[in-house]
Amino acid sequence: MAIISKDEQSPYWASLKFKFGLSYIFIIAAVLLLMNTYPLMVSEDLVFRSKEASMQNSVSVMVYSLSGLDRLNEENVSDAMAVVEETGLSRILVTDSAGRVLYDTRETGSALGKYALYAELVQALMGNDVFSCSYHTGAFRSHASSPVLYQNQIIGAVYAYEYDTEQAALLEGLQSNLLRVSIGIAIAVLLLSFVLSRALTGKISKLLTAIRQVRSGAYSHRAEIRGHDEIAQIADEFNSLTDRLQVTEDTRRRFVSDASHELKTPLSAIQLLTDSILHTDNIDPETTREFVADIGAEAQRLTHITEDLLKLTRLDNDILDVPTEVDVEPVLEQVMRMASLLAQEQGVELTYRTTGRCRVLATRGEVHQVIYNLTDNAVKYSGKNGIVWVHLEEKDDQVVLTVADNGPGIPEADLPRIFERFYRVDKARSRAAGGTGLGLSIVHDTVTKRGGSVRVENRPDGGAMFTVCWPAQKGGQDA
């Protein structure tokens, strides 16, 4: 199956760096926009309110001073207005009920005697108190107007206008300060986000490079990422995954090469023997029979190896038969009967002992295989005049099987690798004894798949000792 990978040179806009950068810019822009508009709007509103209060107050003072008059004319208005304190307003107009100006504080361009038609004034002559304020081109322009009443009759109106540049200058100062601060913040945040996003995406790029290297088969490549953040943690996880991958890959390669070597040896022997039969003239029937017997033995050996390999493949793939409660003692006795024949042949003394009630959750075949492989090895490797002790007992919720011998034992350096596939201390001896180098791997995998364990050690007074522990099965009836 072809592996379709994403284009390694993705466009810049699809990169994380670009996306991070863009999102930072959006966030900063939104914050700065808010910072430059909201405080100004609030300040403007505050100024409007204070102006409304102060102007309406001034206008009502003026209205009050005019309120005793039954009708308004230039003289009495001017007299009444003379007593009103200085208000600081830019312009004050007083009109009669028709809107004719009776009083105007402006000297140049005075509207005295004319009709004033300001919208606020018209509203006031209709009986309303009016205020309006606007801010533009550097000034607040405020207008306030109120009617003057005599016995509930509108006899005129007061109109006040204020042009304020002082408050506007304060507001503008605030605006330009905010702008300066915003530009400073924007530059600082952009620089910071650039540095941060570079650091972050730099780490991701390193990780990506490492993943691609490993994908292309460089299993020894590791992602070198410093720090303790999530990306550094992902890199650590990736590195330990790659370590395991490398171990698995090494094991796989070694297994394939060992398996090919193991299969090649008997095949070469068969080839050689058949060639000899075919190419030797006048070969006598006795020799032919011997050669064919040898071919048969080699074929037998191939069968053993392939059977063992099949067993291991089934264990690797977790293809296990449904376990039942197995009473180990009768299985042990059966194996002992078979092994004692072999032991007699080899001049080895085989003894066994069982204590307690030993039941495990497995299959009879598995238990048989484990006991047989270990006993067979002990008999094979203990040599002439060897002694083999097999002991089965139940101890601390475990069924413990010990197979010990008084043979040469296993060199300490080989002990850690003894359960590896095709691992043999003495290859020639093992082959001569018909071994495939897979027996202990099968024991190990069979036991561990059922939750047990197996270990090996050398006995202090010589010989090897294998100990298998299965979890003891408690449920069944005593036999």
Which of 174, 175, 163 is CA-nearest to residue 133? 163
| CB of residue 301 to ligand ADP, shortest distance in Å | 11
Site string for ligand ADP, 6-35 (x = CB under 6 A): ------------------------------
Which of 414, 418, 403, 419 is CA-nearest to residue 459? 403
Which of 223, 184, 188 is CA-nearest to residue 206? 223
Closest CB to ligand ADP among residues 17, 431: 431
Report the distance separating Cα 64 and Cα 412, nearest Å. 117
407 binds ligand ADP (CB under 6 A): yes
| CB of residue 239 to ligand ADP, shortest distance in Å | 33
Which of 255, 175, 249 is CA-nearest to residue 219? 249
424 binds ligand ADP (CB under 6 A): yes
3-class secondary-structure state, position 282 = coil
Q: Are 175 and 88 in contact (CB under 8 A)?
A: no
378 binds ligand ADP (CB under 6 A): yes
Q: Which region holds residue 35: left if phi is over 0, alpha if psi is between -120 and 50, else beta?
A: alpha
Site string for ligand ADP, 327-366 (x = CB under 6 A): ----------------------------------------
Report the distance separating Cα 10 and Cα 411, nearest Å. 57
Contact residues for 372 (Cβ-Cβ < 8 A; gap 6+):
335, 338, 339
Which of 269, 255, 51, 242 is CA-nearest to residue 162? 51
Cβ-in-10-Å burial (0-12, 13-18, 19+) of 80 comes to: buried
266 binds ligand ADP (CB under 6 A): no
- Binding part of the chain for ligand ADP, among 235-243, 272-280, 285-293, 417-425 by CB under 6 A, reads 417-425
Closest CB to ligand ADP among residues 223, 464: 464
- Binding part of the chain for ligand ADP, among 36-44, 159-167, 214-222, 420-428 by CB under 6 A, reads 420-428
439 binds ligand ADP (CB under 6 A): yes
Closest CB to ligand ADP among residues 142, 406: 406
- Binding part of the chain for ligand ADP, among 56-64, 99-107, 134-142, 424-432 by CB under 6 A, reads 424-432
Buried/exposed code over 242-274 (b: 16+ C-beta within 10 A; e: otherwise): beeebeeeeeeeebeebbeebeeebeebbeebe
Cβ-in-10-Å burial (0-12, 13-18, 19+) of 70 comes to: exposed
CA-based radius of gyration for the chain: 52
Closest CB to ligand ADP among residues 178, 415: 415
Closest CB to ligand ADP among residues 27, 338: 338
Closest CB to ligand ADP among residues 31, 425: 425
Given candidates 437, 454, 468, 473, which one binds ligand ADP under the rule CB under 6 A? 437
Q: Are 343 and 457 in contact (CB under 8 A)?
A: no
Closest CB to ligand ADP among residues 155, 387: 387
Residue whose Cβ sits closest to ligand ADP: 435
92 binds ligand ADP (CB under 6 A): no
Report the distance separating Cα 76 and Cα 82, nearest Å. 10
- Binding part of the chain for ligand ADP, among 98-106, 155-163, 274-282, 405-413 by CB under 6 A, reads 405-413
262 binds ligand ADP (CB under 6 A): no
Closest CB to ligand ADP among residues 274, 448: 448
405 binds ligand ADP (CB under 6 A): yes
Element holding 221 (H helix, E strand): none
Closest CB to ligand ADP among residues 94, 469: 469
Report the distance separating Cα 153 and Cα 42, nearest Å. 40
| CB of residue 420 to ligand ADP, shortest distance in Å | 9
Q: Which spans of this chain sit near ligand ADP (rule: CB under 6 A)?
A: 373, 377-378, 381, 405, 407, 410, 418, 423-426, 430, 435-440, 464
